[in-house]
Structure 1
Amino acid sequence: MSALHLPRFIGSWRRQLIGTFSNNAVEIPQWELELAEGDDAGHFGPDSAVWAVHGSMTPIIAGVRALLLQALHPGAMAGVHDFSDYKEDPLGRLAGTIRWIFTVTYGDTAAAKAGSDWVLRLHERVHGTYVDADGAVQPYSANDPEIARWVHLAFTDAFLSSHQRYGGPIPGGADAYVAEWAVAGELMGIPDPPRSEAELRKQMAGYDTQLRNSAYVQEALKFLQRPPLPRNQLPGYKVLFAGAVASLEPKHRELLGLRAPHLGPVPLPVRFPVKLVLGVIRFGLGTQGPSERSARERLARLDRLAGGR
């Protein structure tokens, strides 16, 4: 490729990369711009553990890891299988998840509650039956506190563990992140979400006997191993998927039927290639996303108003 064509190629690649995370929106979505509005600082701030984790690139790996974990609960997986259109519209589903995460992370308290209430309303129609780990038929509902708790635990664990492995420091450490993100659990109607890393591990261990592999899990796993991404993004995604698998607890990898990357009996190091891919994505997406910029605009406006009193 000649130097003359390189800027055009990079521009096209960046637009395609941004499109993957924005459901191919040609402009910044309105909801991200509206995060600059609001009357308070929100649940978190620039010095918080949540901003440090969610504003990095590690959530890309964490999202894959969270889906792998969440799928192991047969009630949660039944809801995904019966009601989700993740295979027909994966970018739309990804964009919806990103919207909720960033609204709670960067919005004011009213926006965080409204965004969570919107998800809860969507979940009202998600109910049915599933076969549990003992072979018994059980009812499920996406808003059932125990299923919702597993989703929250899997999310918190995935984002924390991925950042610990592939990201930078967390202000206040792991306990601070778990305690801060407990707000998201409460907004989703989960009683007593964990507020320390030890409590997170304890609550997750309480689900060990309920987790299982199934045909539904293998169907989702096959999709996650090769999603319908642009061809130039697939090599990087394979590295990130390997990083997500390597970060799983051995018991969860075994349940999924996965192995950490290896060459024969020798484990392959994935930390460096994962960080390299994340660095390339950071170059493509920019150092600060629209949601964070909007939140900083809101905070600056509130500071000016407070100073003028």
Structure 2
Amino acid sequence: MDSDDLGLFGPGSVTWKVHAEPVLLVAGLRSLYLQALHPRAMAGVAQNSDYRADAWGRLVRTATYVATTVYGTTAEAEAAGSRLRRLHERLHAIDPITGERFRIDEPDLLRWVHVAEVESFLDTARRAGVPLTPAEVDGYYTEQRRAAALVGLDPATVPGTAEEVAGYYRAVRPELRMTREAAETALFLTAPPVPWKLSLPIRLGLTLGPPRWAYLGVAGTALALLPAWARRMYGGLGLPTTALSADATVRGLRLALAALPQRWREGPLQQAARERAARSVGTSPAP
């Protein structure tokens, strides 16, 4: 393996610019709320996942996968994609509406999950104040076709511009529903179980306090960042004032996270990628 391989994207990519933002933790949650509105996709998760029993473990695995595709070497990204494809190809689910048994790696489902995820990353970054030109927005979507290929999609069938993403959402919205599984998942995402290391103090009658309230604030912001049509499906109001409030909150969160030391804002994969990039131009990485 080339120790200086810069992976699927590299330091000059829009992808690295967007994913350098720690505020994307909100985007990840936004994408899960959005993905849950697709009954078939939600059935695939609910019938094949232990996410209720291992919510935080699943979150860590998902975040690690995304970080690997963004910051890992080409070989690491391709290996992660290969593992995911092998997992998906073994799994089936029952359509809650038609009763049909289906594979969860159907292209339509993979495409929904991909678009909901990358659109959530990009929309959250922009609304948090990350400066992106229209050309960079389209560039991000085009670059992310490489990530779509890792899960088994034909890149030519994946929206590659902002206009194409908007058109995709218009086309898919008639398939979306607020099902019982979607509502239960949204409730679970909003108030997940506490990690086991914090469970003992709670069992002893102590309150979680600030961490719980902080998480509820993040979850509320993620919901408010959804498109107006998705907020209405969750029973919320699709008012411009809701979006404006979410924008102000996520901008404040981005500023707060930016004040943290860089070593706290970057994961090990991102740090390793930055070091490889520095070696490729013969400079030292920033401390």
1:78–1:129 Cα contact (<8 Å) kept: yes
Aligned-pair CA distance for 1:203? 1.7
The one-letter code sitting in structure 2 at the alignment partner of 1:189 is G
Residue 21 of structure 1 is matched in structure 2 by none
Deviations 1:136-161 (A, max 9, x none): 22333221111101000111111111
> Where does structure 2 lack aligned partners over 5 or more consecutive residues?
199-207, 283-287
Alignment of 1:170-249 (within 5 A): 170=132, 172-191=135-154, 192=156, 193-229=158-194, 231=208, 232-249=210-227
C-alpha separation in 2, matches of 1:143 and 1:270: 33
Pairing partner for 1:160 from 122, 130, 150: 122
C-alpha separation in 2, matches of 1:140 and 1:130: 7
Residue 67 of structure 1 is matched in structure 2 by 32
1:37–1:298 Cα contact (<8 Å) kept: no
Kindly, what percent of the aligned residue pairs are identical? 33
Aligned-pair CA distance for 1:302? 4.3
C-alpha separation in 2, matches of 1:290 and 1:279: 22
Q: Does 1:269 align with 2:269?
A: no
Pairing partner for 1:79 from 22, 41, 44: 44
Pairing partner for 1:286 from 264, 283, 287: 264
Alignment of 1:126-141 (within 5 A): 126-132=91-97, 136-141=98-103
C-alpha separation in 2, matches of 1:93 and 1:167: 29
C-alpha separation in 2, matches of 1:58 and 1:178: 19
Q: Any idea what SS the aligned residue of 1:41 has?
A: coil
1:149–1:190 Cα contact (<8 Å) kept: yes
Q: Does 1:57 align with 2:42?
A: no
Deviations 1:69-96 (A, max 9, x none): 1111111101111111111111110111
Q: Any idea what SS the aligned residue of 1:46 has?
A: coil
Q: Any idea what SS the aligned residue of 1:271 has?
A: helix
> Where does structure 1 lack aligned partners over 5 or more consecutive residues?
1-35, 305-309
Structure 1 pair 139–204 and aligned structure 2 pair: CA distance change class (3 A): farther
Structure 1 pair 105–39 and aligned structure 2 pair: CA distance change class (3 A): same
Structure 1 pair 272–253 and aligned structure 2 pair: CA distance change class (3 A): closer
> What's the TM-score, normalizing by structure 1?
0.77
Q: Does 1:254 align with 2:216?
A: no
The one-letter code sitting in structure 2 at the alignment partner of 1:150 is W
The one-letter code sitting in structure 1 at the alignment partner of 2:246 is V
Aligned-pair CA distance for 1:269? 2.1
The one-letter code sitting in structure 2 at the alignment partner of 1:113 is E
C-alpha separation in 2, matches of 1:147 and 1:169: 31
Q: Any idea what SS the aligned residue of 1:270 has?
A: helix
Q: Any idea what SS the aligned residue of 1:140 has?
A: strand
Deviations 1:222-256 (A, max 9, x none): 11111234633222222222222222122111222
1:245–1:259 Cα contact (<8 Å) kept: no
C-alpha separation in 1, matches of 2:34 and 2:246: 20
Give the aligned length: 263
Q: Any idea what SS the aligned residue of 2:9 has?
A: coil
Q: Any idea what SS the aligned residue of 2:51 has?
A: coil
> What's the TM-score, normalizing by structure 2?
0.83
1:75–1:130 Cα contact (<8 Å) kept: yes
Aligned-pair CA distance for 1:120? 1.3
Residue 80 of structure 2 is matched in structure 1 by 115
Structure 1 pair 288–99 and aligned structure 2 pair: CA distance change class (3 A): closer
C-alpha separation in 2, matches of 1:243 and 1:95: 20
- What is the alpha-carbon root mean square deviation over aligned residues? 2.4
